[in-house]
Each structure stands twice: as C-alpha cells, then as structure tokens.
RNA sequence: GGGCGCGUAGCUCAGUGGUAGAGCACUGUGUUCACACCGCAGGGGUCGCAGGUUCAAUCCCUGCCGCGCCCACCA
C-alpha cells in the first residue's frame, strides 16, 4: 500500500480503471442465479458525439446499473448505436461532396457501401466518449440498429404489422422535405412563427356577375386550386353555391362548394381549396368526392413548379422554385387587377427539424402505421400502472398525444436505412414479405417484382430496441430473462418520438410492455437557463469538463442537480465543488491510511462499544436507509446529497475529528468499515475515485464495482450512544460560536464550568447539584470534548468536583473555592448552563449582545408557542401529538430563556 | 385555443399543513499531527401577489401577475 499524495489525477485513474473493468468483463459479471435487472441505452446516433444531454442521460443510467450490480443483481445495460438515417446519410454525402462525388453518381449500392465504410472508421467516437464518462455498459454485446440480427427484427415487425392490417400503403398528403427529398413524420416538423403576408384575392365568377374574395398566405398554390368553399350556413354566399369561378392565370373553371371547414368569421368567409397542397383542403377535397389521384399537383420533389394534369399552368411559371413562383404569381395577379390587398401577418410555418427548410404538403404514396389502433393498449398500459411514468405529471402529455395520434408515415425516400420489405408487381399490386422469395411466392411465378426503393423511418427501428437487442423475434435467449426491461431513462424531448413508440411496438410485438418504469429527465441548459445550441455557442462540452475536473465530478454534479420534472442549469462552479468533494474523500482516506485504518472485511459492522463508534455505525445505517429510499424513488438529487452530507459533514467533519488522537483497534475497524460503506454507496455516482481508494485502502476479494451494497439494519445500536454524541456536537458548536463571537483568541484554552441553576448567582451553596448522569456523560466524552471545545478541565460547581479532561482524574477541590470563579461566555443547552471562565479576555459587550440575541430568539419562540397553547381551538382540534410537542417545546424554550436571562444578569 | 411546469437567501436549487434548508457566492478568522480543492464562525428570506379552506398555509383550493415548454389545420 503506497502512501497517497495530497491530490489525485482523475485522468490517470479513469483510464486505468475503465480499461480494467471492461477488460475483465466486470460490467457483466456472470451471475446466472441472481435476479436479472435490465436497462437499454437510448442508442445514440452513430454520427454523434457526446453532448451534455447524453452525459446526463448516461450518468443516470449508469448510477442505476452500478447500484443494481452492487445489490447483487444480474445487471445488464444493453448498449449500441442508431444508424440515424437522415443524419448519417447527410454526413456521408457531405464528405462525398468534398471529392466532388454525388450520391446519385455513385448509385445506391456503392453509396451504402461508403456509408458502411464511414461507420467502420468514424462511427466509434460516441462509444469511446461514453466510456470516458464511466458508463458500465455490456460492450461485449454492443448492437447497431442495422446489424443483421436487429435488421431481421425490423423486417419481422414490418411484416407482422402488415399482416395484422396495422400497416398499409396510402396516397395522401405527407410532410415533404424538399431539401432531403423525402417524406417525414408529423413529429419531425416544427412549427415556427415567421413574418409573412396575407394576400386577398378577387376570384371572378365565370358568368361575369362579379367576384368572390378569398385570402391566402400561399398565393402560388392558386395554380392548383380546385374549388372555393363557403360555410353551408353562411347566408351571404348561398346564392353563389354551385356557380363556377374562372381562376386568374390558369383560367381553370372551379366550383363554389359548401364545406364546414370554411369559417364565416374568418376573412371573407370564403376559402380557396387546393387539395393537393394543403392538409385542410385535402380533407375538403375528399369530402367533395375528389380522389387523391385526381387532385391537382403543381410541385415536383424539389418544390419547383410543374405542369398540372389539366395543362393550364403557363409555361413561364414552369420550373420556378416555389418562392420565385410566389413572386411571379403575385405580380401577375396584381397586373390582372385581381389582387385586392396585402396584409402583413405572422404565419405559423412548418419547417423540417433537420433540414431547416419549409415543409411542403405533397401528394405521394407512402407506408403508414395505424398508430391509433396501437395506441389503445399503450394508453392502457400507463393508465393501469403496468408502466410507471416518473415524474407522473408526464402521463397527461402522454395521454393527450396518444389519444389524438395520427397515422405514422414510416417510409423515407433515402438510401441509408432498413429497406422496406415490399415488392411491386407491374400491375401495381404490392407484396409484403420477409424476403424476395416469399414475395415471389405470394405473387406467383413469372410475375416481375421490383422492391420498394424506400427505407424505414429510423424511429420505426429504434422502437424495437428493448426487445430487438435481446434476440427477438427468436424465442429464448436473453429475452425471457431481460424483457420487459426494468426501467427506461430518456429525455422528455423524445417521449413521442421514441418512448411512446416503444410502448406501442413492444405491446404489439411481444404482448408485454417494454419496460416497467419510464423515467423522464429534463434538458441541460447553460448557467443562465438558455437552451444549449451550437448556433448560440453556449454549449458545454462534457469532455472538457471531464478533462478539467474528472468524470466523477461531472457525474456527481448531474446527479445532484437532477431533481424530477425540472431542467438542469449547469454551472461549472458546481462541478468544481464536487471535484473538491472527491479530493476531500481522497484526503480522508489519506488520514485513514496514516492511522492504520484499512478496508473492512464485510458488510456487517464491526462490534462497537465506544460511543463515538456506536454513533457513527448508527449514522451509517441511517444513511444506507435513506440511500435505499432515494434510489428506489429515482430521486437522484436526494441520493447524491445524502451521501455527500454523510461523507463530508458527518464522517469527515465529526467522526474523524472525534477519533483523532484516540484511534484504537475498535476504532480502526469501525472507521474502516464506515469508509468502505461510503465508497460503496458513492460508487454509482463517482465510480473512479471510489474504486481507486477501495483498492488502495485494503486487500480486497473483488474490485468495488462488484462489491456488496451495504445493509441498512445490520446491527442494533444503543440509542444512548447516539444521544451522547449528538449532545456533544451541540455543546462543541455552542462553545465554538461563543468563543468566536466574543473574540476569544483561537489558541486560548479554557475550563468549562457546569452550572445546574437558572438563578443569576452561582456562588457556593446557592445552586442545585449537577445531575450525576451529566457528569458521567462528560466523563465518557472527555477526550473529544477536550480536543474539540479546547477545554482542559470540567468544573462542577457546588459539587466539589473538577475533572481533568486529559487524564480523567478527579481533582480534590474545596467547596468554598468554587464560588470565586470568574465569568466568561455562557452557553445554555437544555436545562444546563456552561461557562467558559475567561474574564478579562473577552469582549463583555459582545457577550451581552450575543446573549441578548439568543434570549430574544428563545423568548419569541416561547411566546409564539404560548400563544398557540392559549388558543382553545388549537388544544381541542389539533392532533394530540402536535399539542404535546408544542407544550414540550414551550417548556424547553421557557427554560432556555430563563437561563439566558440569568446569564445576562451575571454579566451585570 | 388546449395542456404541462416554474416563481423559496445575491445565484442555482431542495423542502414540509405546525419555529425555513443545501451548495456556491459573501463577511470574519486560522489554534488543530487528512485536506486552503481546507477548517471554524457569521450575515442574508414578509417562501410572486390577492383571496379562500384550516386551530394553524411557504405547503391545500381559486384567481391574478411574470417566466418557460409542449400540442393544435384560422385559410
């Protein structure tokens, strides 16, 4: 055992221990007979790098995983990465662009080959970074959403959904991203408020009898208008219903129809209908009997103007980008005199969350999942409590979304992803099958088949993660033992994207919920509360924090700040503070080492007879109990604060101080045991420094990572011992405060006079005797009292007893002499007054102020309690124990006040 | 428009129907053989505002003010 330096080097410890844990398979020790415990990581994008949100997410998961492992469970933390369709395709395309190569020029085969190559070279960054954080995942079985096994699960899920009639192909409007040229789901669209305009147009009636006004934020779509709608109850337009309009520019004849969608209160009450380019209008068109295939389309995949089916769009507009087209159309309307007026207006505009371009409602054939049907059991699972959501308040959001869920568009016009297992015949028939042979069998011999070129939404596959990683659809394996997972941890920002879809898919595919508990944490924000973003430049790099303070400090910070239902505002000062905590622990261990305190032999606390030892054993057990409760409730902040307070404020500040200079065999055993319990309980939060100290402090059967979590109630402790130490702590604190306030020089040593009377005079014969049990208590505590209160002798007035606290010797003192003692700072604890005889040394004015202040506080409290007790309704109606407590408190405060008054009187 | 959350010490946040807590920051101080990334002591809050329920409200209820987020087809 080498001597520990004053501070330690986190980087060296972290690298060394992580390599050893992983190398020795300690993240997944073989425990076939233990209770299984399972969590799956939200698979980070393979393109990703660790950001602070990951750091929080992973820290919380690692805390639970390490805790479960210490509890002896067969803890499995499934890890892997997500192929992240669009994101990855983007990265590789960008790389290709540097070589002046386009995706199209490579072709699909070669392109996807390049993506795999990229993944092999660069895809490991995020997983290396997870290791730096200390994540104890099962790396030996790392998965990828596009590995063979997982891909089989994806195909299987698709086919099964199709067989169940829960997945279908449909032609309707989708959210089209013209930048990526793919459909995206509702969730991938974010609505932004942008400054736009509201154009009022006068559409002429075909019979020349006038016009009807409509207003639009998208005038260019009038090229594909197919009707004007008015509300059936709108009397203003009844006479026009059924008449034709001759559209400006195209000259198309369109009818005036009635539809509830038209709101008489808005604008003119008449609205233009463009079924091929607006979600509302699509529905209006459907109700008017227009089939999707007959709806006019005026845009191509790049959102450029194309000729409509009726050939009426002027050639001058063909090929224009949608925004250029808008200008051109407006100019022409203005020239024709059909533009009535233009208003400025804030418009809710849909943007692609990845591309950042305006999303276009576009008519295409896509695959849809019948989310509404899947949502039923998923709602029920939460409502019935089969899945517990923490914090519970999120259930409302969950229900609200689930109950209004729309069909989920799962096909994407990309190359990187799970290719959809559907084959088309030339006649338009579609065959969904597990492979081409099966599809061919369905289609019949000789039918030429072409596979659907599209791939699946990345979230379709990640929804299968909790069971697809465990071997599903194969039976057996890890599945029965580790599914459902115990808990899932994710940020609330992916509640709909991922969590809800896992629940739906899990229930549909396995008949069981994917996890028993869903824990949702908040976002990590900067110190001012702003959302972190690359563009704002306020991101905090977790790896930089690890470099500066160590992974332990960062982890502890995130855990301590993780209170349920709240975002985290990360302040680097906090990380620094917890780095200091790690150093504190390190130095406590140095002290231990220097005093021959080493590792303990087991979970059972050593037998303790000394009061200080008994006290710390009881405190330790209480701490274990609090930790167990906090972790069971997923109260990460509470757990972190509990062990922090215990280690620093109890163990270091008091226990180690109390045992200094009196480290005997029993104390060595107890101190070693307590320190070990601290290391174990702290290990999930600060795995590295605790593991290092565990190794340095003793010869161990096992590294800390696979040690045993403490038992809360290992040994019954005599409560009297705790009472002694708690009393001592109060006395020492009061003595220190008194000394400081009256400016006693820090180095000065005093005597401690003990006085059992409230009366001002304390000369010989005037005071009652000091209770024997107090004398005995002081004798028991004499050494720590001597050391911490800086008193050498206890003088029991009127008892003829003085005790030398160093030796415990009773000095023979004549009764008469005792009344002549000088005055000094006075301390009142319960029914006892203590005096530090320092007359002449102290600042009498300051002492008077101090006592007066204490008296005022005690009197105020006494009077408040007296008032309460004087209230008849309180005595009658309050809980009896509340009344009793008020009485006891009142009496204690009254006694204290009385003694403080006497103390003041003694000062003269 | 609907929903959720927040408003407690200078800052970041816990918390409880019955005398307000932590960390950081701040002030003073350094006797002590682990630690100045430390010790000891201290100052600092009408718990957003207004009503209500209650013997008692920072905590429960209602309203209001302020802040944040999510969802939603006013063309």
SS3 letters across A147-164: CHHHHHHHHHHHHHHHHC
Query: How many Å apart are CA A460 and CA A365, to the nearest integer?
Result: 18
Dihedral sign (CA A857, A862, A868, A871): negative
Q: How far is the CA of A739 from the C1' of B65 (A)?
A: 48
Interface predicted TM-score (ipTM) of this complex, two decimals: 0.95
Question: pLDDT by residue (tens digit) across A585-606?
Answer: 999 999 999 999 988 877 888 8
Q: Judge if A794 and A855 occupy the same domain.
A: no
Tell me what the mean pLDDT of segment A528-534 comes to.
Answer: 66
Average pLDDT over residues A312-336: 92
Say how far A853 CA is from B49 C1', in Å: 33
Nucleotide with C1' nearest the A591 CA? B34
Which residues contact residue A5 at a Cβ distance below 8 angstroms, ignoring those fewer than 6 apart?
A: none
**Confidence at residue A814, expressed as pLDDT on a 0 to 100 scale:** 58
Same domain, A637 and A758: no
**Binding region of A for ATP:** 534
For residue A193, the model assigns a pLDDT of: 84
A340 CA → B64 C1’, Å: 43
Is A664 in the same domain as A702?
Answer: yes
Looking at the structure, do residues A197 and A310 belong to the same domain, yes or no? yes
Asked whether the predicted pLDDT for residue A1 surpasses 50, the reply is no
Q: Are A834 and A754 in contact (CB under 8 A)?
A: yes
Q: Residues A812, A850: one domain?
A: no
Expressed as residue numbers, the domain containing A215 is: 182-361
Place of tokens 């003085």: A802
**pTM of the predicted protein model:** 0.92
Q: What is the mean pLDDT of residues A408-437?
A: 94
User: Quick one: pLDDT at residue A822?
Assistant: 65
Angle at which helices A665-682 and A572-594 cross, to 10°: 150
Q: What's the rounded Cα separation, in Å, for the pair A731 and A788?
A: 10
Q: Which nucleotide is nearest to A274 (CA to C1')?
A: B75
Closest alpha carbon to C1' of B67, residue: A529
User: What confidence tens digit (pLDDT) does each residue in A862-894 have?
Assistant: 888 888 888 888 988 888 888 998 998 899 888
Residue A175 lies in a domain: no
Confidence of residue A6 (pLDDT cuts 50, 70, 90): confident
CA A865 – C1' B6 distance (Å)?
A: 34
pLDDT digits (tens, 9 = 90+) for A170-209: 999 999 999 999 999 999 999 888 888 889 999 999 898 8
> Is A902 found in the same domain as A755?
no
Residues 6+ apart with CB under 8 A from A599: A672, A676, A694, A697, A698, A699, A700
Interatomic distance A713 CA / B18 C1' (Å): 31
- Say yes or no: A659 and A599 in one domain: yes
What percent of chain A is helix, strand and coil (3-state, nearest 5)? 45, 20, 35
Tell me whether residue A246 is in a domain: yes
Number of domains in chain A: 4
- Nucleotides of strand B under 7 angstroms from a protein beta carbon: 2-6, 11-15, 18-19, 22-25, 28-42, 54-56, 69-75
Position A133 in a domain: no
**pLDDT reported for residue A7:** 80
Q: Is pLDDT at A634 greater than 90 in this prediction?
A: yes
- The residue lying closest to nucleotide B19, measuring its CA against C1', is A861
Q: What is the pLDDT of residue A220?
A: 94
The answer to whether position A93 is within a domain reads no
pLDDT tier for residue A535 given thresholds of 50, 70 and 90: low
Query: What is the CATH number for A316?
Result: 3.90.740.10
Nucleotide with C1' nearest the A641 CA: B22
**Residue-wise pLDDT tens digits, A547-588:** 999 999 999 999 999 988 888 888 888 999 999 999 999 999
User: Distance, angstroms, CA A629 to C1' B8?
Assistant: 25
How many angstroms separate the CA atoms of A288 and A268, rounded? Answer: 21
CA-nearest of A195, A169, A196 to A183 is A169
Minimum-distance residue to B12 (CA–C1'): A569
pLDDT tier, A354 (very low <50, low <70, confident <90, very high otherwise): confident
Which residue ranges of A make up the annotated binding site? Answer: 534
A809-824 pLDDT, tens per residue?
888 765 555 555 567 8
Distance of C1' in B13 from CA in A171, Å: 52
Q: Which nucleotide is nearest to A746 (CA to C1')?
A: B31
The confidence score (pLDDT) of residue A903 equals 86
Determine the pLDDT at residue A488: 96
> Is A795 strand, coil or helix?
strand
Q: Are residues A709 and A811 both part of a single domain?
A: no
**Could you tell me if A699 and A740 lie in one domain?**
no
Looking at the domain assignment, is residue A767 inside a domain?
A: yes
Is 60 exceeded by the pLDDT of residue A2?
no
Residue A649 binned pLDDT confidence (cut-offs 50, 70, 90): very high
Nearest to A126 by CA among A19, A46, A40: A46
Domain-located, residue A596: yes
Q: Which residue is nearest to nucleotide B13 (CA to C1')?
A: A561
- A34-92 pLDDT, tens per residue? 999 999 999 999 888 888 889 999 999 999 999 999 999 999 999 999 999 888 998 89
The answer, yes or no, to whether residue A748 has pLDDT greater than 60, is: yes
Q: For residue A30, is it within any domain?
A: no
Share of chain A above pLDDT 70, in %: 95
Q: How far is the CA of A281 from the C1' of B73 (A)?
A: 9
pLDDT digits (tens, 9 = 90+) for A460-505: 999 999 999 999 999 888 999 999 999 999 999 899 999 999 999 9
Which of A819, A835, A870 marks a domain boundary?
Answer: A819
CA distances to A76, A472, A484, A517 from A36, in Å: 8, 18, 11, 15
Mean pLDDT of chain A: 90
User: What are the tokens at A765?
Assistant: 């014969």
* Claim to verify: residue A751 and residue A704 sit in the same structural domain: no
- Would you say A307 and A313 are in contact if contact means Cβ atoms under 8 Å apart? yes
Looking at the structure, do residues A885 and A762 belong to the same domain, yes or no? no
Judgement on whether residues A815 and A771 belong to the same structural domain of the protein: yes
Distance (Å, whole) CA A388 – CA A136 = 25
Residue nearest to nucleotide B39 (CA to C1'): A653
**Nearest residue (CA) to C1' of B71:** A401
What's the CATH number where A612 sits? 1.10.730.10
- Cβ A766 vs Cβ A724: under 8 Å: no
Which among A361, A377, A403 is the end of a domain? A361
Residue A90 lies in a domain: no
A75 CA – B71 C1', rounded, Å:
37
Of all protein residues, which has its CA closest to the C1' atom of B2? Answer: A400
Domain boundary among A340, A361, A382: A361
Confidence of residue A275 (pLDDT cuts 50, 70, 90): very high
């Amino acid at each position: 055992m080498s001597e520990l330096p004053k501070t330690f080097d986190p980087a060296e410890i972290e690298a060394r221990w992580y390599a050893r844990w992983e190398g020795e398979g300690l993240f997944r020790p073989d425990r076939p007979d233990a209770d299984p415990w399972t969590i799956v990581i939200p698979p980070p994008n393979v393109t990703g790098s660790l950001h602070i949100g990951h750091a929080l997410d992973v820290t919380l998961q690692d805390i639970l995983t390490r805790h479960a492992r210490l509890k002896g469970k067969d803890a499995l933390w499934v890890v892997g990465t997500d192929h992240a369709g669009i994101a990855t395709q983007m990265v590789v395309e960008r790389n290709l662009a540097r070589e002046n190569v386009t995706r199209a020029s490579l072709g699909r085969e070669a392109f996807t080959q390049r993506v795999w190559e990229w993944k092999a070279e660069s895809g490991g960054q995020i997983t290396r970074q997870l290791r730096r954080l200390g994540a104890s995942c099962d790396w030996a079985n790392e998965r990828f959403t596009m590995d063979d096994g997982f891909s089989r699960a994806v195909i299987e899920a698709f086919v099964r959904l199709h067989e169940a009639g829960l997945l279908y192909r449909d032609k309707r409007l989708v959210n089209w991203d013209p930048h990526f040229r793919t459909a995206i789901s509702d969730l991938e669209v974010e609505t932004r408020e942008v400054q736009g305009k509201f154009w009022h147009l006068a559409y002429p009636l075909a019979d020349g009898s006038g016009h009807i006004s409509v207003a639009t934020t998208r005038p260019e779509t009038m090229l594909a208008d197919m009707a004007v709608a008015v509300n059936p109850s709108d009397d203003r337009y009844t006479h026009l219903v059924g008449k034709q309009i001759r559209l400006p520019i195209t000259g198309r004849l369109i009818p005036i129809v009635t539809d509830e969608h038209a709101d008489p209160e808005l604008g003119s009450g008449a609205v233009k209908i463009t079924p091929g380019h607006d979600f509302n209008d699509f529905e209006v068109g459907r109700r008017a009997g227009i089939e999707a295939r007959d709806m006019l389309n005026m845009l191509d995949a790049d959102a450029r103007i194309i000729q409509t089916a009726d050939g009426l769009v002027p050639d001058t507009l063909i090929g224009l980008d949608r925004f250029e087209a808008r200008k051109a159309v407006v100019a022409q309307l203005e020239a024709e005199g059909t533009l009535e007026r233009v208003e400025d207006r804030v418009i809710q505009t849909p943007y692609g969350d990845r591309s950042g371009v305006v999303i276009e409602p576009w008519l295409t054939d896509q695959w849809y999942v019948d989310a509404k049907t899947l949502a039923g059991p998923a709602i029920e699972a939460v409502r019935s409590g089969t899945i517990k959501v923490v914090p519970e308040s999120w259930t409302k959001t969950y229900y609200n979304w689930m109950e209004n869920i729309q069909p989920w568009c799962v096909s994407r016009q990309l190359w990187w992803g799970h290719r959809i297992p559907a084959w088309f015949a030339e006649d338009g028939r579609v065959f969904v099958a597990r492979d081409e042979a099966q599809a061919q069998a369905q289609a019949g011999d000789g039918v030429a088949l072409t596979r659907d070129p599209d791939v699946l939404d990345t979230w379709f596959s990640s929804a299968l993660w909790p069971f697809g990683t465990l071997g599903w659809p194969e039976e057996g394996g890890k599945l029965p033992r580790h599914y459902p997972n115990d808990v899932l941890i994710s940020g609330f920002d992916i509640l709909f994207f991922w969590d809800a879809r896992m629940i739906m898919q899990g229930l549909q595919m396995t008949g069981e919920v994917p996890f028993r508990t869903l824990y949702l944490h908040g976002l990590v924000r900067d110190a001012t509360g702003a959302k972190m973003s690359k563009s704002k430049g306020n991101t905090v790099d977790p790896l930089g924090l690890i470099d500066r303070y160590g992974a332990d400090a960062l982890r502890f910070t995130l855990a301590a700040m993780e209170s349920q239902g709240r975002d985290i505002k990360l302040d680097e000062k906090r990380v620094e503070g917890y780095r200091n905590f790690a150093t504190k622990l390190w130095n406590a261990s140095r002290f231990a080492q220097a005093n021959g305190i080493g590792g303990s032999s087991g979970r059972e606390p050593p037998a303790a007879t000394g009061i200080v030892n008994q006290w710390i054993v009881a405190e330790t057990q209480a701490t274990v109990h609090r930790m167990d409760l906090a972790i069971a409730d997923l109260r990460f902040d509470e757990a972190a604060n509990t062990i922090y307070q215990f280690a620093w404020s109890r163990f270091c500040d008091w226990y180690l101080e109390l045992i200094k200079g009196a480290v005997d065999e029993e104390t060595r055993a107890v101190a070693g045991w307590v320190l070990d319990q601290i290391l174990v309980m702290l290990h999930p939060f600060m795995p590295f420094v605790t593991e290092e100290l565990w190794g340095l402090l003793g010869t161990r059967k096992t590294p800390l990572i696979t040690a045993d979590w403490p038992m809360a109630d290992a040994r019954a402790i005599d409560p009297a011992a705790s009472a002694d130490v708690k009393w001592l702590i109060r006395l020492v604190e009061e003595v220190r405060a008194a000394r400081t306030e009256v400016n006693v020089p820090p180095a000065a040593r005093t005597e401690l006079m003990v006085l059992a009377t409230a009366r001002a005079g304390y000369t010989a014969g005037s005071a009652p005797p000091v209770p024997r049990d107090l004398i005995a208590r002081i004798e028991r505590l004499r050494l720590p009292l001597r050391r911490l209160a800086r008193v050498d002798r206890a003088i029991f007035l009127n008892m003829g007893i003085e005790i030398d606290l160093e030796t415990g010797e009773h000095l023979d003192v004549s009764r008469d002499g005792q009344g002549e003692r000088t005055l000094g700072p006075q301390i009142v604890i319960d029914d006892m007054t203590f005096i530090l005889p320092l007359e002449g040394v102290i600042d009498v004015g300051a002492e008077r102020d101090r006592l007066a202040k204490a008296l005022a506080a005690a009197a105020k409290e006494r009077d408040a309690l007296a008032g309460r007790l004087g209230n008849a309704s309180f005595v009658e109606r309050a809980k009896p124990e509340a009344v009793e407590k008020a009485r006891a408190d009142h009496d204690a405060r009254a006694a204290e006040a009385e003694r403080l008054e006497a103390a003041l009187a003694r000062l003269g």
